[in-house]
Amino acid sequence: MTAPPPVVCVGDLMTDVVALSSRTVSVGSDTRSSVRISGGGSAANTAAWLASSGHPVAYVGRAGDDAFGRAATDELARVGVDVRVVLDPERPTGICVVVVTPDGQRSMFPDAGANAALSPDDLPADLFVGGAHLHLSGYALLTPGSRPAALAALARARQVGMTTSIDPASAGPLAVVGATQFLAWTAGADLLLANDDEARLLAGCDDATATRAAGAELARTYREVVVKLGAGGADWFRTTGGGSADHVAVPAVPVEIVDSTGAGDCFAAGFLPPWRSGADPVDSLAAGCALAAQVVTRAGARPA
């Protein structure tokens, strides 16, 4: 049987330095922590989880020609990812320092490194084929240096008839770029996978309770919208012919959260395969929540 065309993940590849703090951070002093180094980067995380779950996937990105870069690419290859990484001789591999508080919530301090130099020339032509799917990390759009490559990936995917999904990546840099610009770059994508803060920012909803309104509004720009709510589960939206939005929701899988790093990336890896096969939105949402529940129970954003 011929393997299905792969998901092509384009975007960031990082080395994560994750510090699990033992208590509230003591600003200006020491906070005893458990520290580990692991692979990271939103697009690379999604690729790793797809591959470890048995789905064909390629990852396209850029890393430094250094020990971190070689280790990161080897790690992806070991779990079965078709790795298409350019090793940059001048820029280091991106590094993200992640501080995780005892409630499992994380704050990230990224240095994009070689990710910022991703070029349209780095996009392998053989991966952009009809029937395949492009999953684009918003970090590639939010970083000026890699933006031309991200826009080129979207244009090529549309030209050959690939389906497309967009992860806005992070509310902080998204606010700097601005919702209007981001929507203009990505309008018409088949799927938006946003968390609550990103969805409300993109929809212009200031009310913290306006998640459903934000999802319905964004479904006017994208064919389908998923809003990830962490412990609240996930919602799905699609605009109907009459202009209103279909909406379904599923709860999260109840688990003890150790580290929420990569939960959204993992959700995408769980959601995309059934969604691509035409599954009911409830089943796709449940698959995303189930896989995300695995990653938050331990430190790090990658499969064990």
DSSP-derived pairing of the beta strands 133-137 and 82-88: unpaired
- Side-chain-side CA neighbours of 135 within 13 Å: the count stands at 33
Q: Which helix (H) or strand (E) holds 118?
A: none
Token pair 């939010």 is found at: 142
281 vs 265: CA distance, rounded Å: 18
**pLDDT classification of 4: cutoffs 50, 70, 90:** low
CATH of the domain at 229: 3.40.1190.20
Decide if 29 is inside a domain: no
In the chain, alpha helices (H): 42-52, 67-78, 138-142, 147-160, 171-177, 179-186, 196-203, 211-218, 263-276, 281-295
Decide if 81 is inside a domain: yes
Decide if 27 is inside a domain: no
CB atoms within 10 A of CB 286: 20
Whole-model pTM?
Answer: 0.93
Residue 235, token pair as written in the block: 């919602």
Evaluate whether 267 touches 261 at the Cβ level (below 8 Å): no
Per the structure, how many domains does the chain have? 1
Burial class for 27, CB neighbours closer than 10 Å (0-12, 13-18, 19+): exposed
Residue 106, token pair as written in the block: 């994380």
Q: Which domain covers residue 159, as residue numbers?
A: 7-13+42-93+112-295
Q: Check residues 165 and 22 and name the one with the higher pLDDT.
A: 165
* The predicted structure's pLDDT at residue 58: 98
Closest CA to 56 of 82, 84, 85: 82
Q: Check residues 261 and 166 and name the one with the higher pLDDT.
A: 166
Summarised one tens digit per residue, pLDDT across range 77-131 is 999 999 999 999 999 999 999 898 887 777 889 999 999 999 999 999 999 999 9
Evaluate whether 21 touches 54 at the Cβ level (below 8 Å): no
Decide if 283 is inside a domain: yes
What 3-state DSSP class applies to 105? coil
Beta sheet of 234-239, edge-to-edge order: 82-88, 57-64, 7-10, 133-137, 163-167, 191-195, 224-228, 234-239, 245-250
* The predicted structure's pLDDT at residue 1: 40
Decide if 288 is inside a domain: yes
Summarised one tens digit per residue, pLDDT across range 187-206 is 999 999 999 999 999 999 87
CB atoms within 10 A of CB 303: 18
Does the structure show a pLDDT above 80 at 156? Answer: yes
Q: Check residues 34 and 77 and name the one with the higher pLDDT.
A: 77
Structure letter (DSSP) for residue 253: P
Evaluate whether 5 touches 129 at the Cβ level (below 8 Å): yes
Q: Residue 169: left (phi > 0), alpha (psi -120 to 50), or beta?
A: left
* The predicted structure's pLDDT at residue 148: 98
Q: 2 CB contacts (<8 Å, ≥6 apart)? A: none
**pLDDT classification of 208: cutoffs 50, 70, 90:** low
Summarised one tens digit per residue, pLDDT across range 37-49 is 989 999 999 999 9
Decide if 195 is inside a domain: yes
* The predicted structure's pLDDT at residue 242: 66
**pLDDT classification of 32: cutoffs 50, 70, 90:** confident
Decide if 304 is inside a domain: no
